Structure 1
Amino acid sequence: MQLELRHLEAVCRIAEAGSLGRAAARLGVSQPALSAQLKRIERAAGGELFVRGRHGVDPTPLGEFVLSRARRVLGEMDALAAGARAAAPHPTLRLGCILLVLVDGLIGRLEREMAGQETEIAVSVEHSVTTLGRMLGAGQYDAIVYGEVADHEVPLPEGVVARTLVPKEPFCVRMSAAHPLAGRDRIDLADLAGETWMTLVEDDDGGPEALVDACRRAGFTPTLRHRIADRKMHYDLIASGRAISMSQPTAPPAEGTVLRPLTGDPITGRIRLAWRPAALPVLHARLLYRAAALAYLDNVPNNSFHRTWWESRPELHPDLD
């Protein structure tokens, strides 16, 4: 087997994540599949690239060598892609996002806000904030929309401008409509001890750590079991009563489930926008911010508890002017 770009990407993601499990989630594959792929890569490279330790995996001397060359090759490929795009007569606005609720309406809002700009729009969804930042820095995205949970701050490449879209929103819980607590208007996190939680799809935005920390403060350690990116499958599992999940308060209703706020807002997040000024003119950056803000506001009425919370905090509202 010869090493290919996808193999180099996998090696770099494993090193960045520090574990096969986290790397598999960011690459969108199962851990057994990534482990099998790593074994094939190591056979092609001539030896072990990583050793397992108490806190994850660490590169071997051979792994360090392969990583240094892999990063160089991937960097050259990123530069090639960015250069080719810069030479194109009509470049497309390339926007990367994680799976936030506002993404569903973002394209429509962008098309309306940027009407007359003669700019094509391409929106892609990633399951890793780390990947979004790397691709933004490499010129593969012109802008990204992402979330940060609790005190976590996503590292951004040099030369990037960032602006906060929503400085604070309280996460709520989605559970089966038949759950014994579903009839409550608000739920204490401590009352969810013993529940099975859906593992978050994005594991590098501070969300998993914030959930575990909040649950520990409430007196228990959460059981994290399922990781499902497909929304319908996610909702169906919850509707069946097999799990509950953390959710944005703007999330739409789903048959067989309910959304309930948590007492005291123990877990909060924010939504941010970042872009490369060299790729995104000032006017386009303003229009993108406005479109994303309107897409968020479109979903505020989805849940009355959040609408009330939001309307009482005008200082959090995005600046549409």
Structure 2
Amino acid sequence: MQLELRHLEAVLRISEAGSLGRAAARLGVSQPALSAQLRRVERVAGGELFVRSRHGVEPTPLGDFVLSAARRVLGEMDALTAGTRATMPHPVLRLGCIQLVLVDRLFGHLEEKLPGHEIDIAIEHSATALVRLLGAGQYDAILFGELADHEVPLPDSAAIRTLIPKEPACVRLSSSHPLAAQAEIELADLAGETWTTLTDEGDGGPEAMADACRRAGFTPKLRYRIADRRMRWELIAAGRAVSLCQPTSPYVEGTVLRPLAGDPLPGRIRFAWNRAAISNERAGLLFRAAARAYLDNIPNNTFFQAWWEARPDLHPALD
């Protein structure tokens, strides 16, 4: 067997994640499949690349050598891919996003800012996956969210701008829920609820939520991980779960959206791009299109519109 780029990427992801299980989740494969792939790579390399410890996996001296070479080879390939695309007169713009509300309004603004350009937009369920694909040259730019103090690590080839520096966390619950009549909801009052979330957001959400709930005196009961947004809404409308939501979320029949008192889980939205693939000028056009799409959704909820208008320092620059 000869080593391929996918083998080098797998070895890098194992090192970055610190465990086979986390690396498999980020790569979208099963842990047994990744373990088998690692064994094949080790046979070609001539020895073990990682040793297990109580802290996870750690590279051996041979592993350090292979990791150093893998970073160099993959970096050269990323530069080659980005460089060839940059020489094309009108390359397809590849934009990756997580399931942000603004994406629903983004297409029209992209057509306005980049007329005549072919645009490929893909939705991922994980900010971690977005960043990995940006670093691998499969996306030219990405839009993603972060919660609380979490910062998604970016590759050296990326530049970043904060689109929305802060937005309050909200909870969506059934309109028949006993708390639905309240203007805002204390997180502690949701101690007995079952929660639903996306499959793997990679935005620090699970950790931030666990910390906030612990400060409120309870451990959240997460039962449903559902990628499909409409399915989550139906589950909530039926009274079987509650969920964190962006304050720009639209009206959904059978549910209500309420802000969490005290803002225990503030979020932000960020925009990153591969500097070798798109110019700063084009990145600026993308940024403004995303900002316009976000602003379109502010009137969805009157409580958030008032919150937003009282904080002009948070508004994105559109010049």
TM tier, smaller: 0.7 to 0.9
Q: TM-score, with normalisation over the residues of structure 1?
A: 0.84
2: CA distance, partners of 1:175 / 1:13: 37
TM-superposed CA distance for 1:90, in Å, is 2.4
One-letter amino acid of the structure 1 residue matched with residue 307 of structure 2: W
1:26-51 CA deviation, whole Å, 9 max, x = no partner? 3345xxxx122123224424487655
Match of 1:39 in 2: 35
- Counterpart in the other structure of 1:291: 289
Deviates more, 1:101-110 or 1:79-88: 79-88
Shift in alpha-carbon separation, 1:184–1:120, aligned structure 2, 3 A: same
Q: Please tell me the residue identity of whatever aligns with 1:110.
A: L
The answer for the alignment partner of 1:91 in structure 2 is: 91
List per-residue Cα deviations over 1:127-184 (Å, max 9, x = no partner): 3333433443454433222222112223333354322211110111122333332232
| Residues 101, 294 of structure 2: 8 Å contact kept | yes
CA, structure 1 residues 43+57, in 2 after alignment: closer, same or farther (shift >3 Å)?
A: closer
Give ranges in structure 1 of 5+ residues lacking alignment: none
Counterpart code for 1:106: L
CA gap 1:50/1:224 in 2 versus in 1, 3 angstroms:
farther
Aligned equivalents of 2:295, 2:120: Cα separation in 1: 22
**Secondary structure of residue in 1 paired with 2:165:** strand
Cα 1:283–1:126 shift into 2, 3 Å: same
**Structure 2 residues without counterparts, runs of 5 or longer:** none
1:121 correspondence with 2:119: yes
Correspondences of 1:75-224 after superposition (within 5 Å): 75-115=75-115, 118-158=116-156, 160-224=158-222
Checking the alignment, whether the CA contact within 8 Å between 1:106 and 1:291 is kept in structure 2 is: yes
| Aligned counterpart, 1:247 | 245
Residue aligning to 2:317: 319
The percent identity for this pair of structures is 68
Cα distance 1:160–1:7, how it changes in 2: closer, same or farther (>3 A)? closer
CA distance in structure 1 between the partners assigned to 2:17 and 2:235 by the alignment: 28
Of residues 85-94 and 169-178 in structure 1, the stretch that sits farther from structure 2 once superposed is 85-94
Counterpart code for 2:148: A
Aligned-residue CA RMSD (Å): 2.9
Letter in 2 for 1:35: Q
Contact 1:148 1:205 in 2 (8 A): yes
Q: Counterparts of 2:309 and 2:264 in 1: how far apart (Å)?
A: 20
Q: How many residues align?
A: 315
The one-letter amino acid of 2:222's match is: L
Partner secondary structure for residue 171 of structure 2: strand
Instruction: State the distance in 1 between where 2:49 and 2:253 align.
Output: 47
Distance 1:232 1:190 in 2: 27
Give the match for residue 237 of structure 1.
235
CA distance in 2, matches of 1:42, 1:27: 13
1:181–1:66: structure 2 CA closer, same or farther, 3 Å change rule?
farther
Distance 1:159 1:35 in 2: 29
